[in-house]
Amino acid sequence: MRDPLRVTTLGEALVVMDPLSKGPLRHVGTFEKHLGGAEFNVAVGLSRLGHAVGWAGGLGDDEFGEEILAFARGERVDVSRAILDPDAPTGLYFKEWRALGQLRVHYYRAGSAASRMRFDGLDVEYLLSGEILHLTGITAALSDSCHGLISDLISAANERGVTVSFDLNVRHQLLKGRDPREVLGPLAARADLLFLSEDESGLLFGGGEPEHVRKARRDIRAATVVVHGAEGAFAVEEEGIFEMPAYSVSVVDTVGAGDAFVAGFLSGRLRGWSTGECLDLANACGACAVTVPGDLKGLPTEEEAFALRRGLGAQDAGR
Amino acid sequence: MRDPLRVTTLGEALVVMDPLSKGPLRHVGTFEKHLGGAEFNVAVGLSRLGHAVGWAGGLGDDEFGEEILAFARGERVDVSRAILDPDAPTGLYFKEWRALGQLRVHYYRAGSAASRMRFDGLDVEYLLSGEILHLTGITAALSDSCHGLISDLISAANERGVTVSFDLNVRHQLLKGRDPREVLGPLAARADLLFLSEDESGLLFGGGEPEHVRKARRDIRAATVVVHGAEGAFAVEEEGIFEMPAYSVSVVDTVGAGDAFVAGFLSGRLRGWSTGECLDLANACGACAVTVPGDLKGLPTEEEAFALRRGLGAQDAGR
Amino acid sequence: MRDPLRVTTLGEALVVMDPLSKGPLRHVGTFEKHLGGAEFNVAVGLSRLGHAVGWAGGLGDDEFGEEILAFARGERVDVSRAILDPDAPTGLYFKEWRALGQLRVHYYRAGSAASRMRFDGLDVEYLLSGEILHLTGITAALSDSCHGLISDLISAANERGVTVSFDLNVRHQLLKGRDPREVLGPLAARADLLFLSEDESGLLFGGGEPEHVRKARRDIRAATVVVHGAEGAFAVEEEGIFEMPAYSVSVVDTVGAGDAFVAGFLSGRLRGWSTGECLDLANACGACAVTVPGDLKGLPTEEEAFALRRGLGAQDAGR
Amino acid sequence: MRDPLRVTTLGEALVVMDPLSKGPLRHVGTFEKHLGGAEFNVAVGLSRLGHAVGWAGGLGDDEFGEEILAFARGERVDVSRAILDPDAPTGLYFKEWRALGQLRVHYYRAGSAASRMRFDGLDVEYLLSGEILHLTGITAALSDSCHGLISDLISAANERGVTVSFDLNVRHQLLKGRDPREVLGPLAARADLLFLSEDESGLLFGGGEPEHVRKARRDIRAATVVVHGAEGAFAVEEEGIFEMPAYSVSVVDTVGAGDAFVAGFLSGRLRGWSTGECLDLANACGACAVTVPGDLKGLPTEEEAFALRRGLGAQDAGR
Amino acid sequence: MRDPLRVTTLGEALVVMDPLSKGPLRHVGTFEKHLGGAEFNVAVGLSRLGHAVGWAGGLGDDEFGEEILAFARGERVDVSRAILDPDAPTGLYFKEWRALGQLRVHYYRAGSAASRMRFDGLDVEYLLSGEILHLTGITAALSDSCHGLISDLISAANERGVTVSFDLNVRHQLLKGRDPREVLGPLAARADLLFLSEDESGLLFGGGEPEHVRKARRDIRAATVVVHGAEGAFAVEEEGIFEMPAYSVSVVDTVGAGDAFVAGFLSGRLRGWSTGECLDLANACGACAVTVPGDLKGLPTEEEAFALRRGLGAQDAGR
Amino acid sequence: MRDPLRVTTLGEALVVMDPLSKGPLRHVGTFEKHLGGAEFNVAVGLSRLGHAVGWAGGLGDDEFGEEILAFARGERVDVSRAILDPDAPTGLYFKEWRALGQLRVHYYRAGSAASRMRFDGLDVEYLLSGEILHLTGITAALSDSCHGLISDLISAANERGVTVSFDLNVRHQLLKGRDPREVLGPLAARADLLFLSEDESGLLFGGGEPEHVRKARRDIRAATVVVHGAEGAFAVEEEGIFEMPAYSVSVVDTVGAGDAFVAGFLSGRLRGWSTGECLDLANACGACAVTVPGDLKGLPTEEEAFALRRGLGAQDAGR
């Protein structure tokens, strides 16, 4: 394992059941098993880009939990602080491709091992041992104990001076009617580095344009707010607004694209790059991710992400 | 079962063998089994849109016949008048995706249970018990006895005042060199509601433009003639010509699109909608159908068709 | 739908994820989706044997719930009293084939729609409208509300004079350490017709031999106690002990065998057969079920079960 | 192509749709495409054993017909006299594995290209150009014109002195209630070499024991009558009765075993072997065939068949 | 087999392992086996277009070698001069679809049977018996003995007056750092008909424009140099420069497109067509090939290639 | 990673292409990718049984090499000393299931990265840092440099007092006609712990009975010689002969059984168990391995192996 850890993250890693054919799930007979989970994706993404990263989270003490650990070790992500819960299963979700290409997800994560995590059960020292602690609004929406855990972790990190990276990641199916502004807003307000989709920016700040973010940023802690959309991304900082257009690629599966984007941005930060360069690497990682099916398969290596940035092309380059 | 029936239809339901890879069939090793058949598709489409519908037709007294019945019951289509023939198999066809994306079908429906249907064997009372009786030129092309059956059914419906909906559906492989104008023209001329593709309008009326149809309509019974193409659809009635552009979607499989269109239009009629609104729902249903592989899987529910009409979009709407 | 209903049952119908390869689940990449659930299996089994049967139970208001309803309608099981829960998913489980052919199941049914069923939400009139009400210990183990529901239903049936058929079906993963004798014993004691495996007989009555059951039967309500094992089955009644050897078949998948057995026995009862004949039909149904993979696929039709009883054989009988 | 031809055969080659899972076809979602047909199997079997062989028969002028021709050419079977019919499809059948391991087949060969063959359309010179002409009762059961064709061909071969090999191959689904003794008996009576299963011997000769055959042989032309069963095979000739026990192997799929047996026996004949040796090679070929799924895949090469006869064994012989 | 041979070719035919899912190979669990190899593709392409063609090359004396021979015989390619090597395996390669749609290939052809071919082992008379001998730079890059073999064959053909068709086909993975200009340039300079991609033209002639080729052609033997790119193709001859735009089709898999192009051009030559017509048929063949996955499946028949040239279209043309 | 290492091993890890259907490879269309390699299997087996183990060996610097490393890390095998060769591919082999259940393997390991390993490139300190160094005759048969490497490693271990465990593992396809007694005998003679199959014992010692081994052991270094066969295993030591019968299980795939056996025996040694107990654990591990397809999937955890030894059974134990 590379060390010392530079980023730690905590969240739910899940088994993903991917339908082998399009259309309503009732007509799908065969599924492929993959792995996913927002923070887990970010951890794998950072590791592929060459950084020492640790992931913690609750898993069932079952085959799926073991599989996630083995996969993570294979990807050189430190999972020494994963928590195996003998009384609850590993989280799970099904993807469904409806007519018109619309994605629906069906969660089996209520009562999962991760949803039962508590601040008391964490190795906080470990989680604060890197330069960046990456968290998301998904964990905060899993359960009350998880919400408390995220809140307490942010406080601890704020106190210790560890950079809190927070991806809002609103999931209405988990919020079950609760207002994301109330549930997640106060957490986002205490992050040092905040990631939002355009829609989420609209939700939180009243609009997805740089100007909306610039105004809103005054009221929150974040030194950097990053907003990403299909056309590109921008970051708002004290120093100004940085924009970077998206790479034009053929989209196959957008799940995991945001996580790839975050991994790319954080990687730039760890390299000490400028915010513009960070955005560009983030865009490149997001672009690689959407060209390949599955939440994790498209997360690029450093070599692949850099190749895209250099403007690689010919299909037979590897022949 | 919902009742009373509002639409009845009669035709051949088939097993569809769908190649799991593109290219000449000789190179395809694996096939998925699906179900289809023009009138059957319309029945399922209408049921998904919320209407009480009954399908009748000949099936082999075999596994495939039982499967079609079970599927239809699952879809809440009344199949109480299906005819199980112990001496002939359920119809079958293979799809083939040739170079350049061209679809070929290979029929195994000569001598099928449906091709042996006779007017004598039908429960005519049942078939005339709804508001609309939907028929197509496919059944009329299956065999002589089927042609007679369609002709006699139309007469009976005309007499009883049940609306005859007729989709020309020219299939050259079934016509085996016979002129569709001669074989199907006289049947189409006695329908109350006539559905044509642009090509079929050209064949029957000398052109696929509204003007061609307007002129030709004088010589036939149909109060409404609907012509659908890739760009949109129009209807010609006494009151005038109604046009509606197609929805722009990403096409995956066009088989069944016409049947989805018909189901949408008939659904509009049953709702008492204007012809323009009927065309729009028809377009929406056709659009949903082509975005999903398989003849039947993409037939939308009311919810899905309406969502498209409202202009739904974001890929992650269901997350 | 055939009517009037002769058997009603209530329980959890589930989606079953069946691994396409043997070995630890972490190494399995592809799964086939099937359906199952003890009471659901019994309902389908009875319908295939020709009886009018109704199944009730909680389902998620989701694709899987719809699929279960469509499948049941296709199988001619009345599901008019199924309860769609908008706030909880349809139950789910994974099968796993470990080394040495050992089956493990991984449940995702905590918090499922079925586990949230309450006696208040049921149409008790409907459930008591047949001759037999079939229940199992699985439902009673799902949750406290489900345990209460089963207890109350048995009381209502006892009062009304409807025969209560009860299959103990101990599931340690659902009991989570609770003693099945305490949780399920009092329910079993109030059934009219009790089904046990040999192991369960040992657990409840101190042994799996006819003599153990004969003694224990004095203290319970059941007029008939049926015990089934790999070698055969026996029934203990006031009139005596009836034994019937198992059919010798090649075992592929034992899941669902007990449910097929129960369906066969109940079918015999509905036909007014002697207890010995009931056992024989039960054995035949169980034998058919284990020769085919999947919980439901092997449930025989009357024709198939009778053929086995007549001693059918030659592999090419159907050529 | 090896030449000159030593065996010619004529019959229907078919596409076989093989279910990828066991159980009733209605529950099977995926099928593998294979090829088969009794005489075609014999031709391929003989070619693998090293003999020059020609197959003729009717095929649709379609993808499946082309595939059969390409496969045969690949197997070095001469197909120069195959007849492509532009107006009828290539024959097809589905396999189904019912409960208890029972095989059912579902034919789509009514009206197939092969069923439309007529004696007039054949190249009789070609068919009589080898030492042996192999025919079966299947072709004779396909249609009236096919029955006439077989009868006329046998007459021509009898006259010319070409050995007629005839495999009774009773197929009740094709006979549709006709008595095989009446339809096929007179043909079998004119063969020089007659192959029967034990059941068929019972049907034709009143029993499957050597003694039954010995008596019956007096009334027919055949110099050699071969009867094969699961336990072994025997041949009855003027010189006496020759018996040979079957090889003990693990049976996977018995379809095609009889054809492999016939190919082995004919191969022995072409090598000039004694009847006992012919039976042994026939048994070896049949044994190889049943250990592999599919009608054709298990047909052994000379090397494989001989290895079995030498008593090969260790599983890792090829490592 | 059609004869006499009009084209002969020599090269490596390989087994192709095609991943069933996109993304890095480490995440791919299932592969489909196909066949390929540049010269082999050309041979199959020419045969489908109706020409008598013979392919020679080294194959392992193993299952894959036998499969390649059977496939070729099925496609009516003469393989009587294929060389089965008992001491080396048939060549093999894996395809990999990386992020961004980039193709990588992984060769297992070092030490393959083909790489061990020597001029001494060839039937030179056979290879020079047609009008055209087609060779490629791939064979020349396989090994030293193969390079010598190609050089000697070209000399023999030049001497005998047999047209040498040479496709440069630079494969960096086989050249392992050697300069293609040095390794392949002298061979290309002795061809009569030279095929280049635009990139290869740049490499060899300093640019991919007609003008570059016109100048360079003075120093080489080739009467015709053909350069093909995504937009179209051009040929440079003494008489001038001929250009032909590509057909616009939906690209699925570009592997084998160049070989289809070559087959089309050579087919035009064999038909005695003008250079412009040859280019157009070549473009049509290349277009068909890229619309279907796999190296060989999309190679068109004459009927398909001509249909594209006539401007065929409607998706349901074959219904 | 657990530490300190107790066992180290060195060998070739390979990609295994497993046919998804039985029969000659030419008829197999789809393959599953797995991993294997004798020493790699032993390493994974030991890790699953709870021991700290390190594997070293040559891998291509390619996707397959990366996959093997990731898998091993996931299994907690230390691969820090694996050698990535940029100029040669990772080894590969195909399995083939011939008629009669016979396994053939097709190697693509000539010129592989592992075959190019040299003693000079190894970290000998690392390899001698555990209590046991496990080697096999496979590596010694790969190439001359590998043979030298094994010889030198044994010498170094003998000198240092590290126990050399050696599994003869004769592979005729790698020996290519060389006499295993000459190539492998001298290496086996210097091992401290020697594993042989019955056949190998016959080859090396003139017989597979304990008596043969007892006599032969006098001339070699090994304190313990273990011989395993289908019926059981025995060990010969100074103290006597220990025998232990095999567990009776249903065999699915024997590949990897020997490696599982070795892992079990070594695990017993590391636990300080008696030779009889070691044999029993070895038998249990071998039994688990053969009940699951694939080289590695059936390697048991400590829990599974111990359960078998306790005599576990009921199929539904995990429900």
Q: Which residues of B are catalytic?
A: 259
Two tokens, residue A80: 């020494």
Q: Is residue E286 within 8 Å of E229, Cβ to Cβ?
A: no
User: What would the pLDDT profile of E2-15 be if each residue is shown by its tens digit?
Assistant: 778 999 999 999 99
Q: Using the beta-carbon criterion (under 8 Å), do F32 and E28 form an inter-chain contact?
A: no
Task: List the beta strands (DSSP E) in chain F.
Answer: 7-10, 14-19, 30-36, 53-56, 58-60, 83-85, 92-97, 103-108, 132-136, 163-167, 193-197, 224-228, 232-237, 240-245
The minimum CA-CA distance between A213 and chain D, rounded to whole Å, is: 52
Q: Select from D292, D297, D319 the Cβ nearest to the Cβ of F105.
A: D319
- Residues of chain D where predicted confidence (pLDDT) is lower than 70: 1, 312-319
The average pLDDT across C157-186 equals 97
Q: Using the beta-carbon criterion (under 8 Å), do B31 and D31 form an inter-chain contact?
A: yes
Two tokens, residue D2: 């090896």
- Residues of chain F where predicted confidence (pLDDT) is lower than 50: 313-319
pLDDT tops 50 at residue B131: yes
pLDDT at residue number C317: 37
Task: List the beta strands (DSSP E) in chain C.
Answer: 7-10, 14-19, 30-36, 53-56, 58-60, 83-85, 92-97, 103-108, 132-136, 163-167, 193-197, 224-228, 232-237, 240-245
Q: Select from B1, B69, B75 the Cβ nearest to the Cβ of C70.
A: B75
Does E30 lie at the interface with C, CB-CB under 8 angstroms?
A: yes
Please give the model's pTM, rounded to 2 decimal places.
0.93
Chain D residues near residue F22 by CB distance under 8 angstroms: 252, 291-293, 297
The minimum CA-CA distance between F317 and chain C, rounded to whole Å, is: 7
pLDDT at residue number D1: 54
Q: Is residue A246 within 8 Å of A230, Cβ to Cβ?
A: yes
pLDDT tops 50 at residue C313: no
The number of residues making up chain F comes to 319
- In chain D, whose CA is at the least distance from the CA of F96? D318
Catalytic choice (F167, F259, F280, F295): F259
Does D25 lie at the interface with B, CB-CB under 8 angstroms?
A: yes
Distance, in Å, from the CA atom of F269 to the CA atom of D39, rounded to the nearest integer, reads 61
Does B155 lie at the interface with E, CB-CB under 8 angstroms?
A: no
pLDDT at residue number D155: 98
Q: Using the beta-carbon criterion (under 8 Å), do D27 and C297 form an inter-chain contact?
A: yes
pLDDT tops 90 at residue A31: yes
User: What would the pLDDT profile of E74-106 be if each residue is shown by its tens digit?
Assistant: 999 999 999 999 999 999 999 998 877 788 999
Distance, in Å, from the CA atom of A130 to the CA atom of A153, rounded to the nearest integer, reads 14
What letter represents residue E235's amino acid?
A
pLDDT at residue number B18: 95
Q: Using the beta-carbon criterion (under 8 Å), do B23 and E316 form an inter-chain contact?
A: no
What letter represents residue B281's amino acid?
L
- In chain C, whose CA is at the least distance from the CA of E30? C29
Distance, in Å, from the CA atom of A166 to the CA atom of A158, rounded to the nearest integer, reads 12
Q: CA dihedral in degrees (E15, E19, E23, E28; nearest 10)?
A: -110
- In chain E, whose CA is at the least distance from the CA of A74? E26
Chain C residues near residue B73 by CB distance under 8 angstroms: 73-74, 76
Catalytic choice (D259, D280, D295, D316): D259
Active site residue A259: yes
Q: How many CB pairs under 8 A join D and F?
A: 60
Q: Using the beta-carbon criterion (under 8 Å), do F106 and E176 form an inter-chain contact?
A: no
pLDDT at residue number A312: 54
Which domains are present in chain C? 7-317 (3.40.1190.20)
B312 or E304: whose pLDDT is higher?
E304
Residues whose CB is less than 8 angstroms from the CB of residue F110 and which lie 6 or more positions away in sequence, other chains included: E88, E89, E110, E111
pLDDT at residue number D22: 87
Distance, in Å, from the CA atom of F37 to the CA atom of F53, rounded to the nearest integer, reads 16
Query: Which of 221-280 (C) contact F at CB < 8 A?
Result: 254
Chain E residues near residue F28 by CB distance under 8 angstroms: 33
The minimum CA-CA distance between E23 and chain C, rounded to whole Å, is: 15
Q: Using the beta-carbon criterion (under 8 Å), do B74 and C76 form an inter-chain contact?
A: no
The minimum CA-CA distance between C293 and chain A, rounded to whole Å, is: 15
pLDDT at residue number A98: 83
Chain F residues near residue B29 by CB distance under 8 angstroms: 29-30
pLDDT tops 90 at residue A113: yes
Does A66 lie at the interface with F, CB-CB under 8 angstroms?
A: no
User: What would the pLDDT profile of A188-198 be if each residue is shown by its tens digit?
Assistant: 999 999 999 99
Secondary structure (3-state) at A129: coil
Distance, in Å, from the CA atom of E35 to the CA atom of B27, rounded to the nearest integer, reads 11
Q: Is residue D135 within 8 Å of D184, Cβ to Cβ?
A: no
Distance, in Å, from the CA atom of D200 to the CA atom of C44, rounded to the nearest integer, reads 39
Q: What is the largest CA-CA distance in chain D?
A: 54
Secondary structure (3-state) at E306: helix
**pLDDT category of residue E1 using cuts at 50, 70 and 90:** low
Backbone φ, ψ for residue C317 (5° rounding): -55, -30
Does A168 lie at the interface with C, CB-CB under 8 angstroms?
A: no
Residues A281-293: b if buried by 16+ CB within 10 A, e if exposed: bbbbbbbbbbbbb
Of F42, F49, F50, give the one whose Cα is nearest residue F193. Answer: F42
> Exposed, middle or buried by CB within 10 Å (0-12, 13-18, 19+), for E314?
exposed
- In chain A, whose CA is at the least distance from the CA of E21? A293
Q: Which residues of C are catalytic?
A: 259
Any chains having at least 3 CB pairs less than 8 A from chain A are B, C, D, E, F
The average pLDDT across C5-17 equals 97
pLDDT at residue number E317: 37
pLDDT tops 70 at residue A135: yes
pLDDT tops 80 at residue C1: no
Chain A residues near residue D30 by CB distance under 8 angstroms: 29-30
Work out the mean pLDDT of chain E and round it to a whole number: 93
Q: Is residue D228 within 8 Å of D214, Cβ to Cβ?
A: no
Q: Which residues of E are catalytic?
A: 259
Chain C residues near residue F292 by CB distance under 8 angstroms: 22-23, 97-99
pLDDT at residue number C237: 97
User: What would the pLDDT profile of C61-109 be if each residue is shown by its tens digit?
Assistant: 999 999 999 999 999 999 999 999 999 999 999 999 887 778 899 999 9
Which residues are bridge partners to A240 per DSSP?
Answer: A237
Does B30 lie at the interface with E, CB-CB under 8 angstroms?
A: no
Kindly report whether the peptide bond that precedes residue B4 is cis, defined as omega within 30 degrees of 0: yes
Chain B residues near residue D64 by CB distance under 8 angstroms: 25-26, 106
Mutation target vs E (from F28, F63, F92; most E CBs, 10 A cutoff): F63
Q: Using the beta-carbon criterion (under 8 Å), do E74 and D76 form an inter-chain contact?
A: no
Distance, in Å, from the CA atom of F12 to the CA atom of F68, rounded to the nearest integer, reads 11
Q: What angle do CA F227, F233, F234 make, to 5 degrees?
A: 70
User: What would the pLDDT profile of E229-257 be if each residue is shown by its tens digit?
Assistant: 989 999 999 999 999 999 988 887 888 89
Chain A residues near residue B288 by CB distance under 8 angstroms: 99-100
pLDDT at residue number B312: 54
Chain B residues near residue E293 by CB distance under 8 angstroms: 21-23
pLDDT at residue number C190: 98
Any chains having at least 3 CB pairs less than 8 A from chain D are A, B, C, E, F
**Distance (Å) of CA B40 to CA B1, B64, F80:** 17, 14, 62
Q: Using the beta-carbon criterion (under 8 Å), do B106 and D89 form an inter-chain contact?
A: yes
Work out the mean pLDDT of chain C and round it to a whole number: 93
Q: Select from A32, A291, A293 the Cβ nearest to the Cβ of E101.
A: A291
Two tokens, residue B148: 């007679």
Q: Distance from CA of residue A93 to its chain's centroid?
A: 16
Q: Using the beta-carbon criterion (under 8 Å), do F293 and C23 form an inter-chain contact?
A: yes
Does D76 lie at the interface with E, CB-CB under 8 angstroms?
A: yes
Two tokens, residue A266: 């954080």
Q: How many CB pairs under 8 A join B and D?
A: 69
Two tokens, residue D285: 């070929």
**pLDDT category of residue C261 using cuts at 50, 70 and 90:** very high
Residues whose CB is less than 8 angstroms from the CB of residue B51 and which lie 6 or more positions away in sequence, other chains included: B2, B6, B7, B266, B267, B270
Q: Using the beta-carbon criterion (under 8 Å), do E103 and A308 form an inter-chain contact?
A: no
> Exposed, middle or buried by CB within 10 Å (0-12, 13-18, 19+), for D129?
middle
Q: Using the beta-carbon criterion (under 8 Å), do F99 and D314 form an inter-chain contact?
A: no
pLDDT at residue number C304: 87
Secondary structure (3-state) at B295: coil
pLDDT at residue number B21: 87
Does E29 lie at the interface with C, CB-CB under 8 angstroms?
A: yes
The minimum CA-CA distance between B256 and chain A, rounded to whole Å, is: 14
pLDDT tops 80 at residue B315: no
The average pLDDT across C201-212 equals 96
The minimum CA-CA distance between B319 and chain E, rounded to whole Å, is: 24
Predicted-complex ipTM score: 0.92
Least confident of A175-189, B94-108, C147-161: B94-108
Mutation target vs B (from A22, A26, A100; most B CBs, 10 A cutoff): A100
The average pLDDT across B302-306 equals 90
**pLDDT category of residue C253 using cuts at 50, 70 and 90:** confident
Of F258, F253, F280, give the one whose Cα is nearest residue F268. Answer: F280
Q: Select from E21, E103, E199 the Cβ nearest to the Cβ of A318.
A: E103
pLDDT at residue number A230: 87
Chain C residues near residue D27 by CB distance under 8 angstroms: 294, 297
Using DSSP bridges, classify how beta strands C232-237 and A193-197 pair: parallel, antiparallel or unpaired. unpaired
